[in-house]
Amino acid sequence: MIELEHLSKCYGGGKAQTKPATAGQDRQKPDQPGDQAPKLAVGIQALNDFSLSIEGGCLYGLLGPNGAGKTTALRILCTLLAPDSGSVTVAGVDALANPRAARRLLGYVAQEVAIDKILTGRELLQLQAALYHLPNAVRDRRIAELCELMGMAAWIDRRCGSYSGGMRRRLDLAAGLLHRPRLLVLDEPTVGLDIESRAAIWQVLRELRNQGTTVLLSSHYLEEVDALADRLAIIESGRVIAEGAPAALKASLGGDRVTLRVREFSDEPEALRVQQLLRACAGVRQVVVNRAQGFSLNLVVEHEGVIEQLRRQLGEADLPVFALAQSRPSLDDVYLQATGRTLNDAELALAGIRDTKAERKQNMR
């Protein structure tokens, strides 16, 4: 359904020939002091040999921290942005050579909802319908259907300026669905939404997928991708670094995650002592002392029996057990494994080096 091959895109003063490798490294190691100055000079390598293949009829998630290149990839897919190099194919249509045919196939729900505050929701949908060349009869029927589906009937004739965030997002989703696209692309569809609106949007996306529409969404919420997506790709520094079904990715890590606290608040010597003890056990891997969480210990166990073994060993060493939590690997663990840091940490690191004002300028036509 979608083939993105070897996409590269460099923003800012960097035209393509400015050392993109350096820019990429800067983004991977943002915490090195003194590395920030070159960023301004060379521009930002938003996508770096980005390739992705998505089958028709699935709900696909792009997962990555803010600033990883998700929006850039989606904007290129939706023909809003030309890549420096690479190819884009949507349902067999070359989107770079024949953008109008590609635009007809897809609906795009942007991250920042651009709504004309003076128009009512219905007028906005009518405008949208004309831009997609729907006949008036089809238009009115579709608007009525979508009003019901999104629960917009009560406020669709009010001006958009009075809408809440959730209402705007629902209207925008309706606008994207108006022409019944074969592919719906959503950029961070639930950021900043209330729980109710988020659940409503999830439900619509699932129904869409069930009825044959391909849905591609980007998100930096692990739980959103985990709950929704049939398949996902993890994006980091403008590349796809892992790809597959959430369950398969988690299963491929193997083992169970265990968090152990011998006391509610332990101290370092004791934690190190426990660490030594645990390392000696068979079937235990990656024992890490988590200083941020009261010197608890994070470890991976191969199978169920190991836990019993652990309890026995701790008892013999006269150590108490305040808490022992066991869980299957999560998507966060997948992310950690693939990138070497948690999604949360990546977010924080990128937030420091990101120039959102410059990005907004870039997106302006």
Interface ranges with other proteins (CB under 8 A): 78-80, 100-101, 103-105, 108, 110, 112, 114-116, 118-119, 123, 126-128, 130-133, 142, 145-146, 148-149, 159, 175, 177, 179-182, 204, 207-208, 210-213, 361, 363-365
- Please identify, using beta-carbon distances, which residue of 17 and 211 lies nearer to other proteins: 211
Q: Which among 46, 51, 110, 54 is positioned nearest to 84, based on CA atoms?
A: 46
> Sign of the CA dihedral 33, 34, 39, 45?
negative
| CA 51/CA 8 separation, integer angstroms | 9
CB of 252 to other proteins, least distance (A): 33
DSSP 263: S
CB of 180 to other proteins, least distance (A): 3
Helices (H), the chain: 20-28, 37-42, 70-77, 99-105, 121-131, 136-150, 165-177, 195-210, 222-228, 246-253, 268-279, 305-316, 331-339, 343-353, 356-363
CB of 276 to other proteins, least distance (A): 57
CB of 285 to other proteins, least distance (A): 45
- Please identify, using beta-carbon distances, which residue of 6 and 180 lies nearer to other proteins: 180
CB of 271 to other proteins, least distance (A): 50
288 phi, psi to nearest 5 deg: -125, 135
- Please identify, using beta-carbon distances, which residue of 127 and 323 lies nearer to other proteins: 127
- Please identify, using beta-carbon distances, which residue of 159 and 354 lies nearer to other proteins: 159
Q: Which among 127, 56, 119 is positioned nearest to 90, based on CA atoms?
A: 56
- Please identify, using beta-carbon distances, which residue of 118 and 248 lies nearer to other proteins: 118
DSSP 356: H
